[in-house]
Structure 1
């Protein structure tokens, strides 16, 4: 009797481990891009870099953010160049080559940020640290790393696997989960409202944002393990089935 009781409890623990590991695999990460002091600028070298790279990491994945804007002046439409990525106590900023302010904005030129993750994620929320005038944003996901340099925003949007625009975001956290459910990507573009990415015709030139953070959830197909060792969740599943079979056999004997 005691042996049966022990086997049943061990099986129960193994099952709980299975659910626990599954929960960890689909956990959310709240990224905080704010600094405790003044402006901190991106890194990078070369004529096309313009200091446009910021790097962040979490327990689950690494993130690189680069800044872009359509500042290469030509007969309409203008094309995209790198910009300077920065962040301060309110969040992410974009200093483009026309020096149009310390926001991610769409005044004269449209500023966007490219978020590149090591693993598939879904972006489920955005935290607006500060905005001026209006707070509309555009967001897009890509199956492969998009080419931005020298392109138009319309061309970039045409290569997206998902794109949408959202109006009148509030300061602090805004949920995007209902709109981005099931959209997993390593490559996301977020910025001031850009009609090429959805809802053309909204007012433009007045969206000035500082992005304090984003919320992500691990994608359905995370990076595979680097060894042949079975994952803990798989071991827990096998253990729970094996112990359950032994318990049933002992009980019926």
Structure 2
């Protein structure tokens, strides 16, 4: 009996350690593959078994004013957006506000992004989807409607001509993230609006929960595992007293 309890405790402890660990993923967008065509194109890639699809969105006035999907391009490893009729090859806030929609197939926290090119200022805004269901499109939304449809601002981050990395200090995990040039609709400081922001995004850094068997959704939830561990200790203590 005593040996059986010890084996059980070791198993539960292993489960706890597996549950508590987290994977860190580095996404080099220079390795992403293009799919689709024209304004409906996208980038896709897979890192450590996690899939990612990236689409481009803008509310540029020459594309109708509300959010529409825009063509993605890649120059020197950095991803930008080509607006219709007036090509601009960066993620910027000149003639509307550009952003990349990141759609992961599992919830992740976004730790930061890398910038391969920037011009002038390079301030950024971030948002995470915390609503229910899937996000398949942002089409025809205004930015105010966007923020009332399950999206929550994750802050604005100032960028300078000498910085190539933006750290995102967010504890939120989500399957959907928005990364864009500074957007005042997200409620950030007016200090960020002093100049136009232009950049190309070359990398992403995320963290995702690991599971012991590599199959998300099958591990024992951490609170349950801890409770089992505590009960096991109690039972082992009682067994020792009896013996």
TM-score bin, normalised by smaller chain:
0.7 to 0.9
| Structure 2: distance between partners of 1:41 and 1:95 | 17
Per-residue CA shift, 1:229-249, capped at 9, x if unaligned? x63788987699659845862
Equivalenced residues, count: 231
Choose from 188, 197, 201 the match for 1:207.
197
Instruction: Pick closer, same or farther for the CA change 1:240–1:58 going to 2, 3 Å.
Output: farther
Aligned with 1:20: secondary structure?
helix
Per the alignment, residue 51 of structure 2 pairs with 62
Distance change (3 Å), C-alpha of 1:212 and 1:251: farther
Report how far residue 61 of structure 1 moved. Answer: 2.5
Normalization by structure 2: what TM-score? 0.75
Contact 2:55 2:72 in 1 (8 A): yes
Q: State the partner residue of 1:231.
A: 219
Name the structure 2 match of 1:168: 159
User: Structure 2: where are the runs of 5+ without partners?
Assistant: 210-214
Which segment is superposed worse, 142-151 or 109-118?
142-151
Most deviating of 51-60 and 240-249: 240-249
Q: Is the 8 A contact 2:109 2:207 kept in 1?
A: yes
Q: How does 1:118-133 map to 2 (within 5 A)?
A: 118-133=105-120
Pairing of 1:185-224 with structure 2 (within 5 A): 185-199=174-188, 201=190, 202-203=192-193, 206-218=196-208
Pair 89,248 (structure 1): closer, same or farther in 2 beyond 3 Å: farther
Contact kept? 2:121, 2:198, Cα under 8 Å: yes
Cα gap change, 1:241 to 1:172, in 2 (>3 Å): farther
* 1:155 partner SS: helix
Q: Within 1, Cα distance between the matches of 2:68 and 2:194? A: 20
Structure 1 portions without partners, runs of 5+: none
1:155 aligns with 2:145: yes
CA–CA distance in 2 between the matches of 1:58 and 1:244? Answer: 42
Q: Contact 1:8–1:247 at 8 Å: present in 2 too?
A: no
2:11 corresponds to: 14
Task: Give the conservation status (yes or no) of the 8 Å contact 2:5–2:236.
Answer: no
TM-score by length of 1: 0.72
The 3-state SS of whatever aligns with 1:50 is helix
**How many angstroms apart in 2 are the aligned matches of 1:184 and 1:232?**
19
- 8 Å CA contact 2:117, 2:199 repeated in 1: yes
1:34 to partner: Cα distance = 2.5
**Would the alpha carbon gap of residues 50 and 41 (structure 1) be closer, same or farther in structure 2, given more than 3 Å must change?**
farther
Match of 2:122 among 123, 135, 139: 135
Query: Quick one: distance in 2 between partners of 1:104 and 1:89?
Result: 14
- C-alpha distance in 1 between matches for 2:165 and 2:149: 28
